[in-house]
Homo-oligomer: A and B are copies of this chain.
Amino acid sequence: MSAFDSFLIGKVNTLKITNKKGKQFRVPDATIRRLPLYLDKLILLQQAGVREVSSRQLAMSLDIKASQLRHDFHYFGGFSKPGRPYDVDQLVPALEEIIGVDNPVPFIVVGAGHLGQALCNYANFERQGFPLQGIFDNDPDLIGTKIRGIKIEPIENIASVIKKKNIRLAAITVPSLVAQEIAIKLVDAGIRGIWNYTPVDLRLPEDIIVRNERLATGLMCLSFKTKRLEHPELISDD
Interface residues of A (CB under 8 A from B): 1-13, 15-18, 24, 29-30, 32-37, 39-40, 44, 61-64, 98-101, 105, 107, 114-115, 117-119, 121-125, 128, 130, 168-169, 192-195, 199, 201, 207, 209-230, 234-238
- For residue A40, which residues in chain B have a CB less than 8 angstroms away from its CB? 199, 214, 216-217
A121 and B114 alpha carbons, distance in the complex (Å): 6
A11→B1 contact, CB < 8 A: yes
Given contacts A6-B1, A216-B130, contact A100 B223 (CB under 8 A): yes
Q: Shortest Cβ distance from A179 into chain B, in angstroms?
A: 13
Q: List 21 A-B contacts (CB under 8 A).
A: A1-B13, A3-B4, A3-B6, A8-B30, A16-B235, A16-B238, A17-B234, A18-B236, A37-B214, A98-B224, A99-B223, A100-B223, A114-B118, A114-B121, A115-B122, A118-B119, A124-B216, A169-B226, A192-B226, A192-B229, A193-B225
- For residue A218, which residues in chain B have a CB less than 8 angstroms away from its CB? 5, 195, 211, 213
A33 and B220 alpha carbons, distance in the complex (Å): 9
Q: Shortest Cβ distance from A215 into chain B, in angstroms?
A: 6
A222 and B199 alpha carbons, distance in the complex (Å): 18
Given contacts A2-B9, A114-B118, contact A219 B195 (CB under 8 A): yes
A39→B220 contact, CB < 8 A: yes
Q: Shortest Cβ distance from A62 into chain B, in angstroms?
A: 5
A149 and B123 alpha carbons, distance in the complex (Å): 26
- For residue A224, which residues in chain B have a CB less than 8 angstroms away from its CB? 32, 35-36, 98-100
- For residue A207, which residues in chain B have a CB less than 8 angstroms away from its CB? 229
- For residue A9, which residues in chain B have a CB less than 8 angstroms away from its CB? 1-3, 34, 37, 62-64
Q: Shortest Cβ distance from A63 into chain B, in angstroms?
A: 3
Contact for A211 among B8, B222, B227, CB less than 8 A: B222
